[in-house]
């Protein structure tokens, strides 16, 4: 079926409405609108094809989902019907990709589908946690509360990731500057020193000769360097999309020096926070473990949680099931055990998530403070090598000429 964006007048209240409709042709779309009590004003077929630039720039971000959830929650909580709430949110949405998805959801809901099943059609935008919370909200009649929990979950996750990205931004910039300085020296300064020594018939010092060789290779075979680096990056990206590559990448995150503790706390906080949100919304324990394990975004942790879920299915308490699983830090099952004894597992998961988030925040700050002197030492070493390869030969020439 084709999709048509329409502008029509509702004959019952004389209001103009905008949305999309699916039909085999423009005439069929117009007849469908008339049957619904709408008088078509404008009807235009939509083209789903997007250029590469549009796909890269027109993405749905975590902020878009958060704003969407907050707005929809407020409208539903105020007693506005679901379809009307979606239309209102559509008018307030600036992201074109999100607009297109909301339009599709409106068509699906007006066609009799549940909101959760409508969201499930877009797994790249609405993950399993989002869909499960919406489904739980629909079943319990607390859709507005479910959407609030979703927004809070998105905000928490975005805040954590924002802190980690901020901590890594500075070292990345410094490393890029170092590489740029090295390339500049190899391409511009080093060749001039080589020419100067050649004119005087003097042999180049060893360190300078190394840099001259690197400069010659880079100048003559720069295309080889570009191809090799590009090939390595391309094949690495392709490999890390495979099942074995994802496993290797996820294992590295959990074991890499310096950063492993940060990643483990991130995954534990995400697991606990998602588990709390799901249990609060009425999702069963086994479904919570399945969904929360997937939301962690690490296959190694997910496998550990799935193994624990099988033990829970067999009758073991959750705390005992998680206790001996790989990479599950001891604090999580300990807090869950307290929750099992008090009957407040969801509350304990929330407190656990907060502890991990506080520890992660502290570790990110410590890491940022520790990285700065390391980078300064690295920058000093690079600067020293450049000085040794460029300035010392010049001083040597001046000294020999003076003598």
pLDDT digits (tens, 9 = 90+) for 337-364: 999 998 889 999 999 999 998 898 888 8
Q: Is 112 left (phi over 0), alpha (psi -120 to 50) or beta?
A: left
Q: Is residue 166 part of a domain?
A: yes
- The string of pLDDT tens digits covering residues 150-161 is 888 888 888 888
Lowest-confidence pick of 191-205, 235-249, 276-290: 191-205
Q: Is residue 119 part of a domain?
A: no
3-class state of residue 17 by DSSP: strand
Q: Is residue 82 part of a domain?
A: no
> Could you tell me if 199 and 335 lie in one domain?
yes
pLDDT of residue 402: 55
pLDDT of residue 336: 93
Tell me: pLDDT of 320 over 50: yes
Rounded Cα gap, residues 283 and 299, in angstroms: 22
Answer with the one of 9, 34, 49 that is the final residue of a domain. 49
Tell me: pLDDT of 61 over 90: no
Question: Which segments of 325-344 does DSSP mark as H helices, in order?
Answer: 331-342
Q: Is residue 145 part of a domain?
A: no
- CB atoms inside a 10 Å sphere around CB 60: 18
Rounded Cα gap, residues 136 and 131, in angstroms: 9
> Could you tell me if 37 and 165 lie in one domain?
no
Cβ atoms of 90 and 106 closer than 8 Å: yes
> Could you tell me if 44 and 167 lie in one domain?
no
The band of 313, judged by pLDDT with boundaries at 50, 70 and 90, is very high
pLDDT of residue 339: 92
> Could you tell me if 334 and 204 lie in one domain?
yes
Q: Chain-wide mean pLDDT for the chain?
A: 83
For 229, residues 6+ apart whose C-beta sits below 8 A from its C-beta are: none
> Could you tell me if 43 and 163 lie in one domain?
no
Rounded Cα gap, residues 296 and 325, in angstroms: 15
Domain that holds residue 3: 1-49
Tell me: pLDDT of 400 over 70: no
pLDDT of residue 382: 78
Tell me: pLDDT of 56 over 60: no
> Could you tell me if 322 and 191 lie in one domain?
yes
Tell me: pLDDT of 59 over 70: yes
Q: Is residue 95 part of a domain?
A: no
- The string of pLDDT tens digits covering residues 106-121 is 888 888 888 888 898 8
User: Given the structure tokens 């829970």, which residue do they identify?
Assistant: 312
Q: Is residue 113 part of a domain?
A: no
CATH number, domain at 395? 1.20.81.30
Q: Is residue 114 part of a domain?
A: no
pLDDT of residue 53: 45
- CB atoms inside a 10 Å sphere around CB 292: 28
Number of domains in the chain: 2
Average pLDDT value for residue range 49-67? 67
pLDDT of residue 149: 84
The band of 58, judged by pLDDT with boundaries at 50, 70 and 90, is low
Q: Is residue 62 part of a domain?
A: no
| Extended beta strands in 62-156, E state | none
> Could you tell me if 343 and 221 lie in one domain?
yes
């Amino acid at each position: 079926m084709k999709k048509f964006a329409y502008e029509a007048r509702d004959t019952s209240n004389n209001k103009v409405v905008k949305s999309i409709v699916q039909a085999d042709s423009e005439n069929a779309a117009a007849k469908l609108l008339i049957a619904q009590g709408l008088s078509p004003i404008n009807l235009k077929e939509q083209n789903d094809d997007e250029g590469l630039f549009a796909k890269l720039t027109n993405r749905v971000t975590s902020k878009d989902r958060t704003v969407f959830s907050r707005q929809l929650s407020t409208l539903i909580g105020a007693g506005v019907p679901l379809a009307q709430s979606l239309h209102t949110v559509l008018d307030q949405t600036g992201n074109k990709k999100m607009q297109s998805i909301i339009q599709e959801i409106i068509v699906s809901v007006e066609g009799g589908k549940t909101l959760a099943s409508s969201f499930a059609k877009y797994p790249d935008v609405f993950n399993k946690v989002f869909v499960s919370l919406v489904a739980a909200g629909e079943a319990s009649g607390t859709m507005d509360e479910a959407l609030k929990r979703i927004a809070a979950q998105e905000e928490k996750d975005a805040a954590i990731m924002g802190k980690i990205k901020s901590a890594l931004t500075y070292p990345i910039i410094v490393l890029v500057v170092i590489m740029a300085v090295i390339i500049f020296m190899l391409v511009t300064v080093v060749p001039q020193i080589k020419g100067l020594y050649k004119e005087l018939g003097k042999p180049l010092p060893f360190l300078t000769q190394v840099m001259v060789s690197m400069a010659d290779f880079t100048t003559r075979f720069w295309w080889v360097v570009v191809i090799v680096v590009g090939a390595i990056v391309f094949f690495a990206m392709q490999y890390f999309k495979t099942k074995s590559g994802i496993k290797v990448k996820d294992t590295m995150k959990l074991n890499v020096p310096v950063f492993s503790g940060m990643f483990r706390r991130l995954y534990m906080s995400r697991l606990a926070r998602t588990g709390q949100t799901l249990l609060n919304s009425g999702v069963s324990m086994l479904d919570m473990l399945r969904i929360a394990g997937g939301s962690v975004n690490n296959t190694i942790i997910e496998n550990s949680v799935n193994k624990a879920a099988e033990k829970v299915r067999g009758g073991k308490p959750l705390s005992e099931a998680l206790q001996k699983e790989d990479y599950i830090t001891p604090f999580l099952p300990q807090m869950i055990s307290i929750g099992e004894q008090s009957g407040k597992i969801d509350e304990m998961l929330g407190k656990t998530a907060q502890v991990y988030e506080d520890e992660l925040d502290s570790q990110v700050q410590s890491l940022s403070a520790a990285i700065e002197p390391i980078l300064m030492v690295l920058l000093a070493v690079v600067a020293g090598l450049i000085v040794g390869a460029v300035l010392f030969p010049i001083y040597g020439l001046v000294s020999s000429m003076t003598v």
